[in-house]
Amino acid sequence: MPDPTAADSAGARPRVLHLISDERRGGAQNFARDLHRELRRRGQASALCALAPHPAVPPARPGAGAAGVCTAGTVVPGTCGEGCPDTARPRAAAVLGPGRLRPSTLWALRSAARAADVVLAHGSDTLAACALALAGTPTPFVYVSVGHPRYWTANRLRRLRGGALMHRAAAVTTLTDEAREVLEGQFELPGGKVRVIPNSRAAESYPPADGRDDRRAARHALGLPADVLLVAWIGAIAPEKRLDLALDVLDRLPDVRMAVAGEGPLLEALARHPAAARAHFLGPLPDPAPLYRAADALLLTSDSEGVPGALIEAALAGVPAVATDVGWVREVVRDGATGALVAPGDPLALAEALAKVLACNRAGLGAAARAHALEHFELGAVVDDWQRLVAEVWAGGPPS
């Protein structure tokens, strides 16, 4: 059995393949990129691939291999993903196929996994893909769960499907002890299979604005007005994220503008909201960091969350947040100290809380938010946990 503590140079540290659903800058994708980059920085072989392309992301350059798969053929630092010569841009993921669960995509994943010792599946679509594509192979996978399990296990069909897939994983990670208890109870997962590793981000990826001029420059680059109160809203424009509620809040604050970063099925309908004239729809951003530097505050209006990555990113950037008190949001946002928490579904209470945050010492709230995030959610503090888990999974062999 391999020694999980041996050095890469001895060929005895596991090679990691990070799998994301597509090339968007969603929470799961952002974390996968940060963890991939940090593992490589520590000298561990790590690669990054996406199941499918995303319409808003330019495709890989011609010659990158079938379906955009990295032609290097091995999972070593410098291949598949950030800095890879076979991808279109730095920090881009090699794309495996035309659709997330297409047969050609699954076959490409099965092929790519041969060059890895452990696959980290970031997000629910990747769970299904790994369970199907890696069946019967010697490569184990770890499912990285980032949402609130009570939301996506709300009906019996979802529970049956999720349980069958998670039993195929060698391990499952989740964000809190409560989430672990839910997963173990809902799916009868054996003790020790579900590990708690907090959500986190690399602080260097989300630097605070360096004064007023930097903030104005960030706004100019995004096409946003320079001298207004600006609130950022970031997420999928889907029912549970409640952009409609954010626009209701904006409707009550006539002196505020809102920058919306994201896309989804409700975009066209919500663009007709009465307050949409003061909202700037930016689409999915290739990198959210400039928007954090441009914003005076972040607004989160979701009905369901786990530990939202956007709140961690904004806090690291020194931006206070007003958020609905759902999931484990309160682990990131300290009410009255780094921002404000409000019961979900109440636009009036959200508007009052946001007006108060914008009118008070935003710099002080932002500094407190950054200090809290650096202490509890900075990536460097949890990478050791990830390396230990990957080594254990590798040493233990494939799931039964």
Q: Which has the closest alpha carbon to 45: 86, 5, 76?
A: 76
Whether residue 10 has pLDDT greater than 60 = no
Report long-range pairs for 358-362 (Cβ below 8 Å, ≥24 apart): 358/229, 358/231, 358/256, 358/296, 358/297, 362/296, 362/297, 362/320
**53 has a pLDDT exceeding 50:** yes
Residue 202 and residue 220: Cα distance in Å, rounded?
25
**Predicted model pTM:** 0.80
Q: What's the pLDDT at 52?
A: 92
Of 333 and 74, the structure prediction assigns the larger pLDDT to: 333
Instruction: Kindly give, in sequence order, each residue whose CB lies less than 8 Å from that of residue 60, ignoring residues fewer than 6 positions away.
Output: 68, 86, 87, 88, 92, 94, 95
- Determine which of 45-49, 85-89, 353-357, 373-377 has the lowest per-residue pLDDT on average: 85-89
Whether pLDDT at 91 is above 60: no
Q: To the nearest 10°, the Cα dihedral for 128, 131, 134, 137?
A: 180
- pLDDT of 310 reads 94
CA–CA dist 392, 102 (Å, integer)? 31
72 pLDDT more than 80: no
**CA torsion, ordered 120, 126, 127, 128, to nearest 10 deg:** -150
- Summarize pLDDT for 209-242 with one digit per residue, the tens: 999 999 999 999 999 999 999 999 999 999 999 9
359: number of Cβ within 10 Å:
9
Q: So what's the pLDDT on residue 392?
A: 94
pLDDT of residue 153: 60
- Give the confidence band of 381 by pLDDT, cuts at 50, 70, 90: confident
pLDDT digits (tens, 9 = 90+) for 171-183: 999 998 988 988 8
Q: What is the pLDDT averaged over residues 44-65?
A: 69
Q: How far apart are CA 63 and CA 69, in angstroms?
A: 10
At 298, list the tokens.
């972040």
Q: What is the pLDDT of residues 95-115, one digit of tens each?
A: 999 998 899 999 999 999 999
Q: What confidence category does residue 56 fall into, taking pLDDT thresholds of 50, 70 and 90? A: low
Strand partners, 322: 299, 340
Of the candidates 71, 102, 101, 67, the residue with the CA atom closest to the CA atom of residue 84: 71
Q: How confident is the model at residue 77 (pLDDT cuts 50, 70, 90)?
A: very low
**273-307 pLDDT per residue, tens:** 999 999 999 998 888 999 999 999 999 999 989 89
pLDDT of residue 152: 60
Which residue, among 100, 70, 84, has the nearest Cα to 37 in the 3D structure? 84
pLDDT for the residue 150: 65
pLDDT of residue 48: 96
Instruction: Provide the pLDDT for residue 93.
Output: 80
List, for residues 109-165, the tens digit of each pLDDT value: 999 999 999 999 998 889 999 999 999 999 999 999 887 766 666 667 777 777 789
- Whether the pLDDT of residue 47 is over 90: the answer is yes
Confidence of residue 5 (pLDDT cuts 50, 70, 90): very low
pLDDT at 69 over 90: no
- Find residue 201's DSSP bridge partners: 378
CA-CA-CA-CA torsion sign (35, 138, 24, 167) = negative
CA dist list (Å): 182 to 46, 177, 186, 343: 31, 9, 6, 22
